[in-house]
Structure 1
Amino acid sequence: MVLMNKDIGLLFEYARSKFTATDNKIADYFLARQPVKTIEELAVDIGVSTASITRFCRKIGLNNLKELLFLYQEQLDSKNPPARRGHESLHQDYFDLLQQLDTCLDETVIEQITKAIARHQIIHVFGTGFSALAGGDFKFRFGRLGKFVEVVQDTNSMMMYQDILTTENLVIVLSLNGLNADMAKVVKNLTSRGIETYLITANGKSKLAQHATATLLTASLHGEERTGMITAQLPILMAIDHLYSHYVSTNRDTIRNWVSTEAPFGE
């Protein structure tokens, strides 16, 4: 993860709901702008174990204390207190997302999904919350290319749809964190019946990924979705951009033919 311009104040805030009393003690130490110390010294001063400090670092999205101290020292050296972000910091977050995307997007999976889209006329997109909003973008784009796209936005409806879908249908599941247990059951049911079901997520260890036909990994926001600085559907929208671009570039003749047949009806 690129650490430049990461604000520890905001890292603490997005993870605050997961904090224990020990975590809060550690956070308070850094928010009070205390001196930089080794992990052993910090443990003694704060009154916690070194293992608690390591767990705290991971809980806020960092790998270890070294990364936290790097960010902390930058902010100690700065005239600005923690939790102040300018547009440069936001630009850096965008850059981080693009870097992640470069490393996690699998071209073979993009090829596999776009071929499935080409084979199927009816596509069901499953997603809740922000993912459902991204599903609306998928529907708009591929609907313009002649596909019938239905966005299913709640798990109860997904459970109902799973019994009426057939191998004639294609299912695309959008879930950034990949933690919805009910969706995982639906995906398992669909693929067990031979229905192609593809997942777009930032969580490669998701139970949904264990059952999907294939999984397209996208960037993770590392908590920016909790602070609201970056719209939470952006990583999924970026993955959809790649699918759409690849589909258009590899199906130009089919798209051109469909547009020509539809033109008279638009006049």
Structure 2
Amino acid sequence: MSDKVDDLFLLIESKRNTLTAVEQIIADYFISKRKILSISELARKISVSPPSITRFSKKLGLNNYKELVFLYKMSLSDQTQDASLISTPVTASYHALATRSDASYRSEAVKNFCDMIYSTRIILFWGLGFNSFAGQDFEFKFTRLGKFIQVYSDQHSISLSASSLRKNDVVLISSLSGEDPDILEAIKQGKEKGAHFLLITTNEDSPFIDYCDETIYAASFSSNEALGNISPQIPVLIQLDIIYSKYVSMHRKSVNKWLVSENILKG
């Protein structure tokens, strides 16, 4: 190995954004701490070619698969109870999502979200299915800061709310696929009335983007993560936590005022 590398898991995550779809599958195998196999056995197990595994090894800065296996064994044996290390396939997936979320972070986009939220007291949240759970989290956080949040979680209510939008109303949309034609029509309808739209999605080609004032890209799931071992709203929740943290940092005086008021009411 040309450079000293201490932890294969951290090395893999540091290279996540450079990996192809096939290489992501190989990465997920090792991140999940699965059985050590020969290169041919591994190729059959995860349905990739041996040359793909060799290319993956070299992309990590290793000379070959043999070096990758050596580093894998060393990384496994060195792991302790330290919370920063990956201990199970589930926590490995969380770690991978967090890393990919960090890589897609755009400070200006988050600031624009916060500015839009600050500029209005009433915010509509559109999200179908699991996205509605993220909406409830958004509602909980920002209601404490004096905002009125209305979550719409089915197609009918979203369409109705679009028909009643007014100029300068703010709508936050959570849609990982970013492709629902009915939501697109609702966005167009609201845009014609002068409403503002914020979008959280994983789809960089979403037709929603052209109609939204700002877009934040959530981390997409790998093939293994998409099987259901990770709650599908997690990538959105990560972005909402980033937005909330930035908002509190930007508007600390206003936030403190509302939190003091909340404590008085509780007393």
- TM-score, length of structure 2 as denominator length: 0.69
Deviations 1:40-83 (A, max 9, x none): xxxxxxxxxxxxxxxxxxxxxxxx99569x9xx89xx89xxxxx
Question: Structure 1: which amino acid aligns with 2:44?
Answer: F
Unmatched runs of 5 consecutive residues or more in structure 1: 11-28, 40-63, 79-85
Q: Give the Cα–Cα distance (whole angstroms) in 2 for the partners of residues 254 and 172 of structure 1.
A: 21
Q: Give the Cα–Cα distance (whole angstroms) in 2 for the partners of residues 96 and 263 of structure 1.
A: 37
Question: Structure 1: which amino acid aligns with 2:236?
Answer: I
Instruction: Please list, as runs of the form range in 1=range in 2, the aligned pairs for 1:93-172 lying within 5 A after superposition.
Output: 93-172=93-172
Q: Give the Cα–Cα distance (whole angstroms) in 1 for the partners of residues 122 and 230 of structure 2.
A: 32
**Residue in 1 aligned with 2:44?**
30
Q: Is the 8 A contact 1:5 1:89 kept in 2?
A: no
Deviations 1:169-228 (A, max 9, x none): 310000112121211221222223221110001111111112211111111112345311
Q: Does 1:234 align with 2:256?
A: no
Question: Structure 2: which amino acid aligns with 1:114?
Answer: C
Superposed CA RMSD in Å reads 3.3
Identity over aligned pairs, percent? 26
Q: Give the Cα–Cα distance (whole angstroms) in 1 for the partners of residues 216 and 50 of structure 2.
A: 41
Q: Is the 8 A contact 1:177 1:201 kept in 2?
A: yes
Q: Does 1:180 align with 2:194?
A: no
Unmatched runs of 5 consecutive residues or more in structure 2: 1-14, 17-23, 33-42, 60-64, 73-85
Q: Give the Cα–Cα distance (whole angstroms) in 2 for the partners of residues 98 and 265 of structure 1.
A: 36
Q: Is the 8 A contact 1:126 1:174 kept in 2?
A: yes
**Residue in 1 aligned with 2:219?**
219
Give 3-state SS (helix, strand or coil) of 1:206's partner. Answer: coil
Q: 1:120 to 1:33 in 2, by over 3 A?
A: closer
Question: Structure 1: which amino acid aligns with 2:207?
Answer: K
Q: Is the 8 A contact 2:93 2:225 kept in 1?
A: no
Q: Give the Cα–Cα distance (whole angstroms) in 1 for the partners of residues 226 and 97 of structure 2.
A: 16
Q: 1:32 to 1:189 in 2, by over 3 A?
A: closer
Q: Give the Cα–Cα distance (whole angstroms) in 2 for the partners of residues 150 and 32 of structure 1.
A: 44
Q: Give the Cα–Cα distance (whole angstroms) in 1 for the partners of residues 130 and 56 of structure 2.
A: 30
Give 3-state SS (helix, strand or coil) of 2:125's partner. Answer: strand
Q: Give the Cα–Cα distance (whole angstroms) in 2 for the partners of residues 216 and 32 of structure 1.
A: 32
Q: Is the 8 A contact 2:28 2:224 kept in 1?
A: no
Question: Structure 1: which amino acid aligns with 2:117?
Answer: I
Q: Does 1:92 align with 2:92?
A: yes
**Shift of residue 248 of structure 1?**
0.7
Q: Give the Cα–Cα distance (whole angstroms) in 2 for the partners of residues 38 and 264 of structure 1.
A: 65
Q: Does 1:199 align with 2:221?
A: no
Question: Structure 2: which amino acid aligns with 1:204?
Answer: E
Q: 1:144 to 1:32 in 2, by over 3 A?
A: closer
Q: Is the 8 A contact 2:172 2:197 kept in 1?
A: yes
Q: Give the Cα–Cα distance (whole angstroms) in 2 for the partners of residues 6 and 253 of structure 1.
A: 43
Q: 1:260 to 1:87 in 2, by over 3 A?
A: closer
- Aligned residue-pair number: 213
**Shift of residue 242 of structure 1?**
0.6
Instruction: Please list, as runs of the form range in 1=range in 2, the aligned pairs for 1:235-254 lying within 5 A after superposition.
Output: 235-254=235-254
Of 187-196 and 241-250, deviating more is: 187-196
Q: Give the Cα–Cα distance (whole angstroms) in 1 for the partners of residues 154 and 192 of structure 2.
A: 21
Of 106-115 and 179-188, deviating more is: 179-188
Q: 1:263 to 1:181 in 2, by over 3 A?
A: same
